[in-house]
Chains A and B, each alone.
Chain A
Amino acid sequence: MKPSKPPDSSPPRLLPPRIRSVSDLRQFQSVMAEALFRPLSSRDGLQARWSDGRPMASVAGEFVKPNSRLTSVERLEIYARSYWFRVLDCLYEDYPGLRAILGRRRFMKLATAFLAQFPSASFTLRNLGSRLPQFIEDQPAFAAPHAALAIDMARFEWAQVIAFDGPALPTLTQDDILDAGPALRVALQPCVTILECAYPVDQFALALKKSGLRGEASNALQAMPDSRPASRAARPRLPRPARTFVVVHRQDNSIYFKRLDPEAFAILTALRDGRTLSNACAVSLREADPAVDWAARVQQWFRTWQSLGWFCRRLKRGRA
């Protein structure tokens, strides 16, 4: 009687030994991408073990050839480091305010956790942080005890990304307004974002800019060799809570932010949501101070908003 062969306890291969089909190619690429998307170890290398516990060396060895100077893991690590340094750099540059709130170490921890859960889903790095505000809402511990401020700042800084290169449709003309009268329905330009914040993040961002701390996150610093990092004493204090209404917009292709009165914010929000001008005013000013000449004030606001090009025609349903 032949002795029975002992069962093979080694886990099955993750990768196909040959790549003949698109399915094989997808399997190959999925495993390599998974290796890159796993956060780096404390020594900025690949983690020692795969998600199922097998040694990383065994996984890397299935597809990466070693050479006389580098092991399979070391060759794969070149790509893993490149990936993580690139995406973390991107968030580091796009979210200087959030970084100032959390400090560099905690910001990197938050960014790493965010990217591990939400790797880029877009062909452009521009969109990398689009889900960051929601992530902080869902995982406030990463920003504690400043989670509310961090959420506001992440929303504010994402709005700046939209304002930088978001679409701007033809602005509403005087004829459009006159033709429609009080039944006018407008849309806000897609590159304009109106925000209600629990903290004055716009002022904090300006204070950071003045202190030079924003510059630490920018490539521009490399072009200014005389610049010195701002001293710790120059760091602006974190703001106290203060309900703030702010618009992030684009004017002559530069990004601006503008404070709003609460009533102005309510009217803009109602207009954005599709109410007519007359209805937006009625709803927004229902509990407003009757001593104020709201008709004159709304006219003035509207003239300003119109001159800033915030309004465009509301597209008919079914159109992009």
Chain B
Amino acid sequence: MPANPFNNHTDYGIGIGLRVPHYRHILEKKPVVDWFEIISENFMVDGGRPLEILDKILEQYRVVQHGVSMYFGSADKPNREHLKRLKSLARRTQTPWLSDHLCWGSVDGRYTHDLLPMPYTHGAARHTASKIRLVRDFVEVPVCVENVSSYTEFHQSEMTEWEFLSEVAEAADCGILLDVNNIYVSSKNHGFDPYEYLDNVPHQRVGQIHIAGHTRFKKYILDTHDHPVLDPVWKLYEHAIKLCGHTATLLEWDDRIPSFDEVHDEALKAARFLAAPAVAA
């Protein structure tokens, strides 16, 4: 049974990100993996090796698309070429949902290629929600929006990050990709209680969860995706599963990537929490 209306894919279990250093291992050894998450933009191309690899993966595995440059929060309208390529890729992968970030990263046609935090205002929430609806309606695939890690807060903000996430998700009527590592990183950088964040997002909208490692510096924590998941993040994940129920979970490991088995074993540690029953709503 689905744990909630935005989580119809409880059978997806635990996935990992599809990354170049693992291509050969995956294609030759064909390891058993619940699903792979791909970075959409890496495959929104016209031909060549990326699509050849993707088609081979699709013969064997379920794939979910995760984007990094739709920038739902940018003031610019969605780029039509981007939308068309995203829709074409979604048809190729048959992704059951797709995700991108609750952030901005481009303005006036210029791109930062970063996931920049939003000013948490009602006006920004309205605009962001309308863009999410537009993307969902164009691509015709359910959308989950992911909370980002951040290193700054803005004077212009009118609410907390979790209030903003909730307001956007409700207004867009979309799912949430809850990144518990990002919540932890931001909580340390901005001094809020990560459990208060988790307790106050609409759990019934959480369709996917991200876990990852981070790096602690003297004055802030950086979301580096180059380490195993740290204990405080596992504890947050356990709490999230109690609140949201069994939810498709993905480990992100994007830098200093170790062997496939090491990444997969780290992801599978989530299984001990996924088995726990959800708290009644």
* A residues in contact (CB < 8 Å) with B: 15-26, 28-30, 32-33, 36-37, 62-65, 67, 69-70, 74-76, 78-79, 82-83, 86-87, 119-126, 163-168, 190-191, 222-223, 250, 253-254
Distance in angstroms between the alpha carbons of A222 and B255 in the assembled complex: 10
Q: Which residues of B contact A15 (CB under 8 A)?
A: 156
Whether B154 pairs with A168 at a CB distance below 8 angstroms is: no
Which of chain A's residues has its CB closest to B67's CB? A123
Q: Which residues of A contact B74 (CB under 8 A)?
A: 29
Distance in angstroms between the alpha carbons of A64 and B111 in the assembled complex: 20
Q: Which residues of A contact B156 (CB under 8 A)?
A: 15-19, 28, 63
Whether B256 pairs with A222 at a CB distance below 8 angstroms is: yes
A sample of 30 inter-chain contacts (CB < 8 A) reads A19-B121, A20-B121, A21-B123, A23-B75, A25-B75, A28-B119, A33-B106, A33-B107, A33-B110, A64-B155, A65-B153, A67-B189, A67-B191, A69-B219, A69-B220, A75-B152, A76-B152, A78-B151, A78-B220, A87-B113, A119-B110, A120-B110, A120-B111, A120-B112, A124-B44, A166-B45, A166-B48, A168-B46, A168-B47, A191-B48
Q: Which residues of B contact A83 (CB under 8 A)?
A: 112-114
B34 to chain A, nearest CB (A): 26
Q: Which residues of A contact B189 (CB under 8 A)?
A: 67
Segment 184-215 of B: residues with Cβ below 8 Å from A:
189-191
Give the residue of B47, B107, B191 whose beta carbon is less than 8 angstroms from that of A30.
Answer: B107
Whether A67 pairs with B127 at a CB distance below 8 angstroms is: no
Which of chain A's residues has its CB closest to B53's CB? A253
Give the residue of A26, A33, A37, A164 whose beta carbon is less than 8 angstroms from that of B48.
Answer: A164
Give the residue of A33, A79, A165 whose beta carbon is less than 8 angstroms from that of B50.
Answer: A165
Whether B106 pairs with A123 at a CB distance below 8 angstroms is: yes
Q: Is B69 close to A, CB under 8 A?
A: yes
Which of chain A's residues has its CB closest to B130's CB? A22
Which of chain B's residues has its CB closest to A125's CB? B113
Which of chain A's residues has its CB closest to B44's CB? A124
Which of chain B's residues has its CB closest to A15's CB? B156
Chain B residues within 8 Å of chain A by Cβ, number:
49
Q: Which residues of A contact B107 (CB under 8 A)?
A: 26, 29-30, 33
Distance in angstroms between the alpha carbons of A64 and B156 in the assembled complex: 9
Q: Is B57 close to A, CB under 8 A?
A: no
Q: Which residues of B contact A17 (CB under 8 A)?
A: 155-156
Whether B45 pairs with A165 at a CB distance below 8 angstroms is: yes
Q: Which residues of A contact B73 (CB under 8 A)?
A: 25
Distance in angstroms between the alpha carbons of A211 and B127 in the assembled complex: 53
Q: Which residues of B contact A74 (CB under 8 A)?
A: 219
Q: Is B21 close to A, CB under 8 A?
A: yes
Whether A123 pairs with B155 at a CB distance below 8 angstroms is: no
Segment 74-131 of B: residues with Cβ below 8 Å from A:
74-76, 79, 82, 104, 106-114, 116, 119, 121-124, 127
Whether B69 pairs with A124 at a CB distance below 8 angstroms is: yes
Instruction: Give the top 5 A-B pairs by smallest Cβ distance, nearest first.
Output: A167-B46, A26-B75, A165-B45, A165-B48, A75-B152
Most chain A beta carbons < 10 A, residue from B110, B153, B189: B110
